[in-house]
Amino acid sequence: METTSIVNGGLRTETGVKVWKDGMPRLLDLYAKYNVKATFFFIADFAKDFPDIVKMIQPYGHEVACHGLTHDHKQAFDVLNFDEQKRHLREAKKILEDISGEEVVTFRAPALRVNEFTPQALIESGFKIDSSVAPQRIDMFMSLGSKKKLAWLKAPRTPYFVSENNLARKGNTQLLEVPVSSFAFPYIGTFMRISPVLNKVTRFFLYHETKNTTKPINFLIHPNELIEEETLNLKTEKRADNYVSYLLSDVLRRRLKQHNLGLNARDLFEEEIEFWDKKKYNFQTIRDLI
Ligand SMILES: [Zn+2]
């Protein structure tokens, strides 16, 4: 849950309000229809201004989780040092706990950007579960911070305790990683919308990988994918530091990401849920799964 405008780029409070009023009810209705329990990762700064966006999920038994203090890419977790990460995590956790009245133990980094300090910063801030790794996902060149995401190529595919300085490696800490499912391509709303056909291929592999096991499948979707927004025809913000990276991770990415938003996204997502529902998979929050 964030204020990112997929159509116009950047973070916009108006978008956040639309997500609250349109996107969230669509998602909550869909989940209620199939008895889905989900984990919602909130940007704490936005939740502080609009606390109802957190409270509205609680009657359904969904999990309140943390997506950091801000989604500002200049303050991504892979550019913050250890102390800054700890400050962000503690402040965000407190805001979300004050609003929800429940303990917040699960974290997902904005844009899945993390660094070597993140495991320890999470542990020292009281988090027990992270979900910021997408094992064997190969499209990371399209996203910011892609060099650090190369570690994903060797990440385990099933939940594991992480190492002290790398969320993508097994280790001896008490912090559990629940990876975002992927099979070359990530199993996420964005990809589902950009390429519904390839998404079915990914789903087919994930189904055959998990069907006779207890391996969970972790699907990622944003409520801002379920809203319609007016295009303001703004120039794409240049976040990348060189031109090739700008073309791939800013311009191309933004164009691709605009496919099948709003009600189309909801219908495509319903197909995903129906698929697993027919296969008798259970839909749980990450906290309950653990
Ligand atoms: Zn995000």
Distance, CA 212 to ligand 1 centroid (Å)?
32
Q: How far is the CA of 256 from the centre of ligand 1 (A)?
A: 17
* Spacing, Cα 206 to ligand 1 middle (Å): 23
**How many Å apart are CA 151 and CA 157, to the nearest integer?**
13
SS3 annotation, the chain: CCCECCCCCCECHHHHHHHHHHHHHHHHHHHHHCCCCCEEEECHHHHHHCCHHHHCCHHHCCEEEECCCCCCHHHCCCCCCHHHHHHHHHHHHHHHHHHHCCCCCEECCHHHCCCCCHHHHHHHCCCCEECCCCCCECCHHHCCCCCHHHHHHHCCCCCEEEECCEEEEECCCCCEECCCCEEEEECEHHHHHHCHHHHHHHHHHHHHHHCCCCCCCCCECCHHHHCCCCCCCCCCCCCCCCHHHHHHHHHHHHHHCCCCCCHHHHHHHHHHHHHHHHCCCCCCCHHHHC
Ion ligand 1, residue ranges at CB < 5 A: 2, 110
**What is the pLDDT, as a whole number, of residue 235?**
67
Q: What is the Cα–Cα distance from 49 to 20, expressed in whole angstroms? A: 12
User: What distance in angstroms lies between residue 43's CA and the mean position of ligand 1's atoms?
Assistant: 8
User: Distance from the CA of 2 to the center of ligand 1, in angstroms?
Assistant: 6
Query: Cα(165) to centroid of ligand 1, in Å?
Result: 22
Q: What's the CA-to-centroid distance between 87 and ligand 1, angstroms?
A: 19
Ligand 1 center–CA 128 separation, angstroms:
19
What's the pLDDT score for residue 171? Answer: 97
Q: How far is the CA of 60 from the centre of ligand 1 (A)?
A: 22
Q: What pLDDT is recorded for position 236?
A: 63
- Measure 19 CA to ligand 1 centroid, in angstroms: 13
Report the pLDDT value the prediction gives residue 241, as an integer from 0 to 100: 66
How many angstroms separate the alpha carbon of residue 71 from the centre of ligand 1? 6
| Ligand 1 centre distance from Cα of residue 67 (Å) | 7
Ligand 1 centroid to 108 CA: how many Å?
A: 8
Taking the centre of ligand 1 as the mean of its atom positions, its distance from the CA of residue 263, in whole angstroms, is: 20
Q: Rounded to the nearest whole angstrom, what is the distance from the C-alpha of residue 53 to the centroid of ligand 1?
A: 15
State the distance from the centre of ligand 1 to the C-alpha of 11, rounded, in angstroms: 11
Q: Give pLDDT tens digits along the chain (290 positions).
A: 999 999 888 999 999 999 999 999 999 999 999 999 999 999 999 999 999 999 999 999 999 999 999 999 999 999 999 999 999 999 999 999 999 999 999 999 999 999 999 999 999 999 999 999 988 887 766 666 667 777 788 899 999 999 999 999 999 999 999 999 998 889 999 999 999 999 999 999 999 999 999 999 999 999 999 999 988 866 666 666 677 666 666 667 777 888 899 999 999 999 999 999 999 999 999 999 98
Ligand 1 centroid from CA 129, angstroms:
17
